[in-house]
Chain A
Amino acid sequence: MTKLNRACLFTASVLALASPAFAEVHSIAPGAGAQERLQEALILAEPGDEIVLEAGRFSLTDGLSLDVDNVTVRGQGMDQSILDFSGQQGAGEGLLVTSDNVVLREFGVEDSKGDGIKSKGADNIVYYKLRVEWTRGPHPENGAYAIYPVESTNVLVDSVTTIGSSDAGIYVGQSKNIIVRNSVAKYNVAGIEIENSYGADVYNNLAVNNTGGILVFDLPDIPQQGGRDVRVFKNIVVDNNTPNFAPEGNIVASVPTGMGVMVMSHYNVEVFQNVLAENATGNVLIVAYSNETEDADYNPYPINVLVTDNVHGRAGYKPAFEGGEMLAAALGGTIPPVTHDGNGRDIIVRDNVPVLSLGLSEATQPASEAQPQIADLSGTEANKPVLTAIVLPEAMEAVVKQ
């Protein structure tokens, strides 16, 4: 028995090791029939295979999708291999991934009618050196999200560029164990947004010319809530003053133009060692979710938020929230770079800048009841970042070292 088991195990491990040798590379060129040829390759791929997008522009009429585990889609560069969805007639996104262990790298996606690239229930996904863009620039009829992993465990977004999303450039929703780094988000409503997620590191990114640079939100009435444990650090978040162009009804439509980092509701957020400047409403805003909700399980308050060791440039010179302008006038032209609505608990700001409190004490209290005052939220020296770094499976990190 034992011998047999060992032999079986041995065979199995040889097979496992050998399997990559059977992996195939399917090279797809742009040109006539690109929709069918590329989609067919994505359907017929076997686990371990690589789909190579040759250089050029793929003109697509419908959404593409991948539902095979352990497949890599590799282009020749984010400006060389371009999936062009300007002629798209159907489907809610450009590329949809619904399988695990997928790597998307080095290609561009332009002008999809809905979202750019969506991955749903796709664990261990890697987005690397991609560009997702709406080429006409900010417009309310652009797709909502450029890069859109949702309901997934282990997400790596590295070295991507997103431009023109009418909601968020990089949006990670209802997921667990996430890294977003080394990426550029510009001319989106929200540059980067982590929503209703558990455990995320957002670092070394550049968020510029969005309406809001980096958002950490938790919302009611969706399956995963109670968002927690997010670190936002070593990012450059500057000049996010593009007028909000999100369609009304979406939560980001309520983001005031000129926002750096915004935390809404949520547990355990650390914002540290970022460069924050030239954001006209403010560099940091910490608020409760202020809409009415009947969701009894939902916590609308920000709880345990630490802001420390950030470098602040000019901010608060044109605050775009209700009553902001009057407030700025009263305070000599600008409001402080950090604003807290007064809600929640354990909100600590240890940056060397003044903090404005709006003095609210209920999530749904109207802004007209605000009692603005300069607040001291500096805590003590014991208030230091304590959240542990996100660790992804080694195979995912290995992808970006290749």
Chain B
Amino acid sequence: MPGHVLSPYLPILVLMIIALGFGLGSLVAGMLVRPRRPYPEKLMPYESGNPPVDEPRYRFSVKFYIVAMLFVIFDVEAIFLYPWAVTFDKLGLYAFVEMMLFIAILMVGYVYAWKKDAFRWE
């Protein structure tokens, strides 16, 4: 379908199909080719050769939450930079000042987070 809005993305779709096919294909091929002789030790999770001592799922510390939260916030900030970057040549100084103001406001948050040791692993 020429001229369709999605046609420029066709290569991505093709690539996704190839990637999926390759992944599934290797798994299936491996399954067909390899010998299958399971015994209990072999089915255990590998932990440097020692018998596993603990459940693999344990609760993470809340510390991760702050890291993830700050990541989201600065990710959203970065998103705003894309449309600014592509229109910067046309909009000029006015847009530049606006973006600097935007970054300055978030910089306050950054300094605050830094000084409150939000980035330190305590």
A and B: interacting chains: no
Question: Residues of A at under 8 Å CB distance from B?
Answer: none
